[in-house]
Amino acid sequence: MKNFVVGSDHGGLDAKAAVIALLEQRGATVMDAGTHGPESVDYPDFAVKVAGMVSRGEAEQGVLVCGTGIGMSMVANKFPGVRAALVTDQFMARMAREHNNANVLVLGGRVVDVPTAEKLVTAWLNATFEGGRHQGRLDKISALERELRLV
Ligand code: RB5
């Protein structure tokens, strides 16, 4: 199993490359789910790859980047067990782990520059899930997935 799977559309290519380099520097095994060139592509195709792998347990965590991060989040959060968080600042990135235990981080390549994208990923990686009352809330999300017959 890969530690991370990372994907983007054409709006997130530079950030994707930087995130993969950062994760590898930290010793993680990373799968690059594409896209691999600047041609216009459809973000759902890449969100499906990344969120699908996380949902099926083929990767521990994922990172997705599109122009705004909005489309990628919409798709990723349809997958059972995926908690995808679109973050734009370091506080949100830290909270995405501490409170939401996000297993997919979503960035907007046209919203944040590459150094900021690296800081956001680092803040998420360095944070620790607090559990306690927050676990109870995540349990409610899991219960909802069962109620909606998503699992
Ligand atoms: C592509 O132009 C753009 O729509 C996409 O990257 C993303 O921002 C969608 O949410």
| Whether 99 is catalytic | yes
Pairing of strands 84-86, 30-32: unpaired
| pLDDT mean across residues, the chain | 97
In this predicted structure, the answer to whether residue 2 has a pLDDT above a threshold of 80 is no
Distance CA 149, CA 151 (A): 5
CA distance 51 to 124: 17
CA 13 – CA 78 distance, rounded (Å): 23
CA 39, 44, 47, 53 dihedral sign is: negative
The active-site residue out of 10, 36, 66, 134 is 66
Model confidence pLDDT, tens digit, residues 49-99: 999 999 999 999 999 999 999 999 999 999 999 999 999 999 999 999 999
Q: Is 66 a catalytic residue?
A: yes
| Tokens 């799968």, located at residue | 31
The beta strand positions in the chain, using DSSP E, are 2-8, 30-32, 59-66, 84-86, 104-108
N-term to C-term CA, the chain: 21
* Residue 63 in tokens: 């990172």
Please state, in angstroms and rounded to a whole number, the distance separating the CA atoms of residues 104 and 4: 9
Distance 71 CA to ligand 1 centre (A): 6
pTM of the model: 0.97
For domain 3-147, the CATH superfamily is: Sugar-phosphate isomerase, RpiB/LacA/LacB (3.40.1400.10)
Q: What is the mean pLDDT of residues 88-116?
A: 98
> Which of 10, 39, 46, 68 most suits a substitution to test ligand 1, by most atoms within 8 Å of the C-beta?
68
Q: Assess whether the C-beta atom of 70 lies below 6 angstroms from ligand 1.
A: yes
Domain ranges (residues) in the chain: 3-147
Distance CA 67, CA 131 (A): 32
Is residue 67 within 6 Å of ligand 1 at its C-beta?
A: yes
